[in-house]
């Protein structure tokens, strides 16, 4: 596999980098402390075409591929993981589900608004009692004439409060049946559809995470995505692409932490010389950079297969597993290089350290990725 960065990617990279420095860096710690979800930033990102990266131009999107997508998410995450996470969740989950599985009418109705961030998107699969075991969900959708009546709740949902539209997977058949779940598009303001408790999180604090609650919520059959019973299958396909998203997020966090550590190691002096001159620090930086490069290659391989519409379940899981674990390892090492200052909020690596852990949990834990990889190997 030979992948060369093209001029378009370099232009996008510079545009995103400039935006992140101007619009995100100055306020990212303020948002982190207050747990504010800065909707206005996402509206600006929408104006730049960064909230509909993979959406074809005919639906108001940018019509780009997964290499460009990785560039965008990772560049944002090098400055702020929270904003990177929300961009990734909006693009790959809610928008991606409608893009890949919605009807033509649904695409025309929702994709232009999602691609421009007129609508912020949410995606509901996880529940209080069903994280990795998504098939055991309790939220139900019961057919009643031309409507489905939803009851239950979803938790750990990105944009649950601020989102304008959500794709929600609910049980329409027997619990545990992979063909007993269906996906619905539900707009904010639909009677019986509300938001619940906002989570107080370790990291990614400016990316809103909360509950979605359904109390006799009536959803018209036109809002069903695809056929009844296909929701879980659709969700698994969406998560294949979502692994590239979280991979890009982890890659960006790791790169941000490494760059901060390199800069600090050149400036910080001990025993009369910069600490970068000590082999203990220099070798740590070498290990960090090597891990990042290896994980990036796995991520690009998964993206290459996704661009070619090839099956990439194993490659996506490998990339997500590797990049997320590397993000944690590299940010941990970065804190160590900073020493006591790395443990304070006045320096950037403390935030990379907190944000990185989500990557090993969200959109499938590292343990689930190993399960997926091993199943693919043993087929």
H or E element at residue 164: none
How many residues make up the chain in this entry?
379
Phi and psi, residue 150, nearest 5°: -95, 135
Exactly one of 301, 363, 367, 376 is catalytic; name it.
363
Give the CA dihedral 264, 265, 267, 268, nearest 10 degrees.
100
For the beta carbon of residue 362, count every other beta carbon within 10 angstroms. 23
Token pair listed for 99: 């893009």
Cα distance between residue 217 and residue 224, in whole Å: 14
For the beta carbon of residue 47, count every other beta carbon within 10 angstroms. 11
Token pair listed for 282: 């220099």
Token pair listed for 224: 């069903």
Cα–Cα distance list, 48 to 8, 19, 45, 52, 146 (Å): 14, 10, 5, 9, 39
Would you say 301 and 326 are in contact if contact means Cβ atoms under 8 Å apart?
A: no
Give the CA dihedral 75, 22, 40, 91, nearest 10 degrees.
-10
Burial class (CB in 10 A: 0-12, 13-18, 19+), 187: middle
Token pair listed for 45: 């990102």
Burial class (CB in 10 A: 0-12, 13-18, 19+), 378: exposed
Cα–Cα distance list, 111 to 9, 69, 214, 290, 334 (Å): 23, 17, 24, 39, 40
CA 142 to chain CA mean position, Å: 30
For the beta carbon of residue 358, count every other beta carbon within 10 angstroms. 25
- Is 30 an annotated catalytic residue? no
Burial class (CB in 10 A: 0-12, 13-18, 19+), 129: exposed
Task: Cite the active site residues.
Answer: 363
């Amino acid at each position: 596999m030979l992948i060369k960065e093209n001029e378009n990617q370099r232009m996008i990279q510079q545009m995103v980098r400039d935006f992140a420095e101007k619009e995100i860096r100055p306020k990212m710690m303020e948002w982190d402390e207050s747990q504010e979800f800065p909707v206005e930033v996402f509206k600006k990102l929408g104006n730049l075409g960064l909230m509909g990266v993979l959406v074809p131009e005919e639906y108001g999107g940018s019509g780009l591929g997964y290499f460009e997508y990785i560039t965008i998410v990772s560049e944002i995450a090098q400055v702020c993981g929270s904003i990177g996470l929300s961009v990734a969740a909006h693009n790959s989950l809610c928008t991606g589900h409608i893009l890949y599985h919605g009807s033509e009418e649904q695409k025309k109705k929702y994709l232009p608004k999602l691609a421009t961030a007129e609508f912020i998107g949410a995606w509901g699969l996880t529940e209080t009692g069903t994280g990795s075991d998504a098939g055991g969900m309790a939220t139900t959708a019961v057919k009643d004439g031309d409507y489905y009546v939803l009851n239950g709740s979803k938790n750990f949902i990105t944009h649950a409060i601020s989102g304008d539209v959500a794709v929600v997977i609910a049980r329409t058949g027997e619990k545990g049946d992979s063909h007993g779940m269906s996906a619905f598009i539900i707009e904010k303001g639909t009677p019986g559809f509300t938001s619940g408790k906002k989570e107080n999180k370790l990291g990614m604090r400016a990316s809103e995470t909360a509950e979605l609650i359904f109390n006799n919520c009536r959803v018209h059959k036109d809002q069903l995505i695809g056929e009844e019973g296909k929701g879980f299958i659709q969700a698994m396909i969406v998560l294949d692409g979502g692994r590239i998203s979280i991979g890009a997020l982890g890659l960006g966090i790791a790169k941000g932490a490494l760059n901060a550590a390199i800069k600090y190691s050149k400036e910080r002096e001990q025993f009369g010389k910069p600490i970068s001159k000590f082999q203990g620090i220099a070798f740590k930086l070498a290990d960090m950079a090597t891990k990042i490069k290896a994980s990036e290659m796995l991520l690009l391989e998964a993206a290459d297969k996704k661009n070619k519409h090839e099956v990439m379940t194993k490659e996506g899981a490998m990339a997500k597993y590797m990049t997320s674990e590397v993000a944690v390892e590299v940010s941990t090492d970065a804190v160590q290089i900073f020493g006591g200052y790395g443990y304070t909020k006045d320096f950037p690596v403390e935030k990379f350290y907190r944000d990185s852990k989500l990557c090993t949990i969200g959109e499938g834990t590292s343990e689930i990725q190993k399960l997926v990889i091993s199943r693919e190997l043993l087929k």
